[in-house]
A = this chain, B = another copy of it.
Amino acid sequence: MPDLIHSHSQWGPADQIGAANLLTVEKRLAALGSIRSGRVYDVSYDVYMGAPFMAPNQTPFLMSIFGSWRDTIKRRRKLGATNDAGTNLERIEMTAHVGTHIDALGHFSKGDMLYNGTPAADVVTDWGLDRLGIEHAPPMITRGILFDVAGMTGGAHMLPGQAVTPDHLKRAADSGGFSVEPGDIALIRTGWGRYFGTDNARYLEGEPGLDVPAAKWLIDQGITAIGADNMAVEVLPNPTKGVLMPVHQYSLAECGVYLIENLALEELAADRVYTACFILLATKIRGATGAPVRPVAIV
């Protein structure tokens, strides 16, 4: 059995938003105030049939037309309509973790415990989370800081099983000319994103990503969320035998820090944009363990 996680977060026993508490209005105004050119970088990939997913816990994204202009016009004519208004509308089957998405704090447990000493048995229902669902994540408008680890290590991308370490992060911050501040959102570029949707088999086989010390280094400095251009933020497989997804456990369940996955960071890196106003507005799917999103970085 794992150690129990600390029973209460620093934000009190009722807290459900974790490190989003660090998103102060001052932080928001500073980020917005940093905008100069108004250029918007879209840092998300599409959600679509064919997007990578991690079996067996994730299911494929399916989408198909439920109402077409042809049939809706026919039906409406029968009801007496004369203006031939045709509706196109689809049905979607998906998980909340498809494409570029954010993880809710309730997405991962350490043993039987979720974030803030919350017993999973009390809040995980058949129909989702009674607490710690993504609807609690506030709009995130803050500074984004890009750790271009891939760019720094010279190659096009790091390799599966290769950990992004605290040292990597320190050097990337130096190279980017910034230090981590509370309420920042860290964007980690491993270069692995180039295989999203272009070679899913490879993308899913393993990935470069954070190890626990790197996550801890970021979190100790007050980061609100950690995003990366890979499927799980963290290095896969984990170098420590028998340890599976420890960065998810540590960030979400122990520290209340959000994870953002499958980010598209190539354009930011190419333009050497290391700090920007980062905006992520997670659709409030009540009780969901995450949400597909379309974050942007504005400079």
Q: Which residues of A contact B (CB under 8 A)?
A: 1-2, 25-26, 28-29, 32, 35, 37-40, 42, 44-49, 56-60, 62-73, 76, 79-97, 99, 106-112, 114, 120, 124-129, 135, 138-139, 141, 241-246, 248-249, 279-290, 292-296, 298
Contact = CB atoms under 8 A, between A and B. Distances in A.
Closest 4 CB pairs of A and B: A86-B109, A48-B286, A57-B67, A69-B109
A76 B244 contact: yes
B88 A108 contact: yes
B139 A83 contact: no
Contact of A111 (B45, B84, B120): B84
A107 B89 contact: yes
Nearest to A246: B83
A68 B126 contact: yes
Nearest to A248: B85
Contacts of A63: 127-128, 285, 287-288
Contacts of A279: 279, 281
A262 to B, nearest CB: 12
Nearest to A295: B281
Given A96-B92, A283-B47, A32 B38 contact: yes
A91 B62 contact: yes
B64 A38 contact: no
Contacts of A32: 32, 35, 38, 298
A3 to B, nearest CB: 10
Most buried by B among A45, A68, A80: A68
Nearest to A36: B29
A127 B65 contact: yes
29 contacts: A44-B284, A46-B284, A46-B286, A47-B284, A57-B67, A58-B67, A62-B66, A63-B128, A64-B65, A64-B91, A65-B125, A65-B126, A65-B128, A69-B120, A69-B124, A71-B127, A73-B111, A81-B243, A84-B110, A84-B111, A85-B108, A85-B246, A88-B289, A89-B290, A90-B287, A90-B288, A92-B288, A281-B293, A283-B283
B83 A108 contact: no
A248 B84 CA distance: 12
